[in-house]
């Protein structure tokens, strides 16, 4: 089982060190827990990382971060937060650290949200296993949407950070928005269009 997860972790990292980027062809990769196993880090793919032997050795020597309270941190919820207490009818999938919700006000048909369970305001506060879990769900639901609806030919993936950038719910979440040919007159520039007139920069 560990060997299978180890291979998957290397594959997920593109067979490169997740810290320095060196190829597995140039320096052997080691798979280890992000949150150490002896500190009750879970044996899940989202808590594994692939590091070259040099970076992994340096991490052990220099990383003094304490994860002793990680379990309590991961269980942080706010009673008045709609993403800490999601509607069951909108829930599409759940993992240990994140879940997928139907967007309540979809931009396009199939628009979903990937939400970490822990209450954090923005993605910049996510722990690595949480980011891994969210990215894995993004990939899974991209494939799921494409299978369910062959008219989907692209996606916008977006995260709003703070009220000035349009964030209306102060709990980190990723938007996965399916795109179809002709759904807007001119899609050029994609997310650049959040500022009026900045989408098609070739004009």
Render pLDDT for 82-111 as a digit per residue (tens, 0 to 9).
999 999 999 999 998 999 999 999 999 999
One domain, residues 90 and 170: yes
Give 168's strand partners: none
With a cut of 50, say whether residue 2 has pLDDT above it: no
Question: Which H or E element spans position 158?
Answer: strand 152-158
| Residue 191, SS3 per DSSP | helix
In total, how many domains does the chain have?
Answer: 2
How many other C-beta atoms can be found within 10 angstroms of the C-beta atom of residue 90?
15
In this structure, the answer to whether residues 33 and 80 fall within a common structural domain is no
Residue 47 pLDDT: 83
Angle at 86 between CA 85 and CA 89, to 5 degrees: 140
CA angle 88, 93, 97 (to 5 degrees): 100
Q: Do 80 and 137 reside in the same domain of the chain?
A: yes
Q: State the Cα–Cα distance between residues 6 and 35, nearest whole angstrom.
A: 15
pLDDT at 20 over 80: no
Pair 35, 95 in one domain = no
> DSSP state, 7?
H
Those residues whose C-beta lies under 8 Å from the C-beta of residue 88, and which sit 6 or more positions away, are none
Question: Closest Cα partner for 98 from 138, 60, 58, 38?
Answer: 138
In the chain, the percentage of residues whose pLDDT exceeds 90 is 55
Q: In this prediction, what percent of the chain has a pLDDT beyond 70?
A: 91
- The pTM assigned to this predicted structure is 0.78
Give residue 21's pLDDT band: very low, low, confident or very high (50, 70, 90): confident
Domain that residue 47 falls in: 2-62
Regarding whether 153 and 81 lie in a shared domain, the answer is yes
Q: Which two tokens stand for residue 91?
A: 């829930």
Paired with 6 in beta bridges are none
For residue 68, being part of any structural domain is answered with no
Whether residue 92 lies inside any domain: the answer is: yes
The reply to whether 198 falls in a domain is no
User: Residues 89, 38: one domain?
Assistant: no
């Amino acid at each position: 089982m560990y060997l299978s997860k180890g291979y998957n972790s290397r594959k997920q990292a593109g067979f490169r060190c997740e810290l320095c980027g060196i190829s597995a062809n140039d320096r052997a990769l080691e798979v280890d827990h992000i949150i150490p196993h002896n500190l009750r880090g879970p044996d899940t793919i989202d808590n594994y990382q692939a590091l070259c032997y040099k970076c992994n050795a340096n991490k052990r020597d220099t990383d003094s971060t304490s994860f002793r309270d990680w379990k309590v941190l991961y269980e942080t919820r706010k009673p008045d937060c709609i993403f800490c207490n999601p509607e069951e009818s909108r829930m599409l999938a759940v993992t240990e650290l994140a879940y997928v919700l139907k967007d309540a006000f979809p931009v396009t048909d199939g628009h979903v949200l990937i939400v970490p369970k822990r209450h954090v305001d923005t993605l910049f506060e996510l722990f690595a296993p949480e980011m891994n879990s969210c990215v894995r769900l993004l990939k899974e639901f991209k494939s799921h949407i494409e299978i369910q609806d062959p008219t989907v030919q692209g996606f916008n993936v977006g995260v709003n950070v703070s009220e000035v950038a349009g964030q209306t719910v102060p709990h980190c979440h990723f938007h996965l928005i399916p795109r179809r040919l002709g759904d807007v007159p001119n899609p050029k520039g994609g997310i650049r269009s959040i500022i009026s007139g900045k989408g098609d920069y070739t004009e």
